[in-house]
């Protein structure tokens, strides 16, 4: 009886999570000028339309660039923070850790408003920089947590053994830490990229008409109605994200990392 219930709940969870994605993807092929499910007819018309929509393509590129920059920034900052937290013997270590994780606590809309105020206050002209700052702010906690967990599982004797054999901190970093942290680092980069690419509630405050990330652009279009072209671009990004995850899984056995880190 219990098992039946578990299977039923699992099935429902999958339906609720995957269902909307499927509906969008299937709905992008409809012949009607609005997204409908089940779709009427089959056409690739809306995909062709995308090619002439410069604003959607620009937005996609903007999102990719911001996500890439954010991945680098957040991973570097988060890793350094995790390393420091693992090593410090300060009395307020736990408070520091909570401080690093804090951005996760605030509703992103609140963070977005605050950032808007901040960016105007320092007269920051580049929207790109503002977006990267905002995205990095909310993704560093993920890195700190992931890398921190990997560091926690790392045998401290390894670094000491390396030091005893004559290794300076550069060599220790390169030959002991990076190989041990590689899965966590890779997962972090992936996670940050996806979160940044997907980000709406902060980007919407920081974007302007020239520089708009894709999710914000989609949001704008949806205000006018259920445009199948939006479904088309969404399908493409869904497939892209799926392909990236599968590729990484093939490369580093992602499931094993998640299974172990819990």
Contact segment (CB under 8 A) with other proteins among 108-116, 121-129, 167-175, 240-248 equals 167-175
Give me the sign of the Cα torsion angle 71, 212, 18, 240: negative
CB of 68 closer than 8 Å to CB of 136? no
92 forms part of the interface with other proteins (CB under 8 A): no
* Closer residue to other proteins in complex, CB, 55/160: 160
| Binding of residue 216 to other proteins (CB under 8 A) | no
Q: Could you tell me which stretch among 5-13, 168-176, 206-214, 234-242 binds other proteins (CB under 8 A)?
A: 168-176
Q: How far is the CB of 160 from other proteins (least distance, A)?
A: 6
How far apart are alpha carbons 35 and 41 in whole angstroms?
Answer: 12
132 lies in the binding site for other proteins (CB under 8 A): no
179 makes contact with other proteins (CB under 8 A): yes
Could you say whether residue 176 binds other proteins (CB under 8 A)? yes
* Contact status: 163 vs other proteins (CB under 8 A): yes
Judged by CB under 8 A, the number of residues near other proteins is: 17
Record the tokens describing residue 78, joined without a space: 């988060």
Longest dimension (CA), the chain: 71
| Of positions 41, 121, 166, 259, contacts other proteins by CB under 8 A | 166
Interface stretch with other proteins, choices 119-127, 155-163, 203-211, 227-235 (CB under 8 A): 155-163
Interface with other proteins, residue 160, by CB under 8 A: yes
Alpha-carbon gap, residue 208 to 120, rounded angstroms: 13
Least CB distance from residue 156 to other proteins, whole Å?
A: 9
184 binding other proteins? (CB under 8 A): no
Quote the least distance from Cβ 124 to other proteins, whole Å.
43
CB-wise, 134 or 183, nearer to other proteins? Answer: 183
What are the structure tokens assigned to 161, written together?
Answer: 């053994």
Nearer to other proteins, 48 or 171 (CB): 171
Binding site for other proteins (CB under 8 A): 155, 157-158, 160-168, 171, 175-176, 179-180
């Amino acid at each position: 009886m219990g098992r039946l219930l578990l299977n039923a709940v699992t099935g429902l969870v999958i339906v609720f999570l995957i269902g909307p994605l499927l509906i969008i993807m299937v709905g992008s092929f409809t012949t009607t000028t609005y997204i409908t499910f089940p779709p009427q007819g089959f056409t690739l018309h809306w995909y062709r339309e995308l090619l002439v929509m410069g604003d959607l393509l620009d937005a996609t590129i903007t999102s990719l660039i911001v996500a890439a920059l954010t991945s680098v920034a957040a991973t570097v900052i988060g890793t350094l923070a995790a390393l420091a937290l693992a090593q410090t013997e300060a009395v307020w270590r736990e408070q520091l850790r909570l401080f690093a994780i804090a951005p996760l606590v605030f509703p992103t809309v609140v963070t977005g408003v605050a950032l808007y105020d901040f960016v105007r206050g320092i007269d920051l002209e580049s929207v790109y920089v503002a977006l990267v700052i905002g995205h990095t702010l909310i993704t560093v906690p993920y890195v700190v947590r992931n890398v921190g967990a990997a560091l926690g599982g790392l045998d401290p004797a390894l670094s000491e053994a390396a030091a005893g054999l004559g290794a300076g901190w550069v060599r220790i970093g390169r030959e002991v830490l990076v190989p041990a942290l590689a899965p966590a680092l890779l997962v972090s980069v992936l996670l940050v990229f996806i979160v940044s690419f997907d980000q709406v509630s902060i980007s919407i405050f920081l974007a302007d008409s020239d520089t708009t990330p894709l999710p914000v652009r989609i949001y704008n279009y949806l205000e006018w109605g259920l445009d199948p072209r939006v479904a088309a671009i969404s399908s493409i990004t869904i497939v892209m994200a799926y392909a990236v995850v599968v590729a990484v899984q093939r490369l580093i056995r992602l499931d094993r990392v998640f299974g172990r880190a819990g």
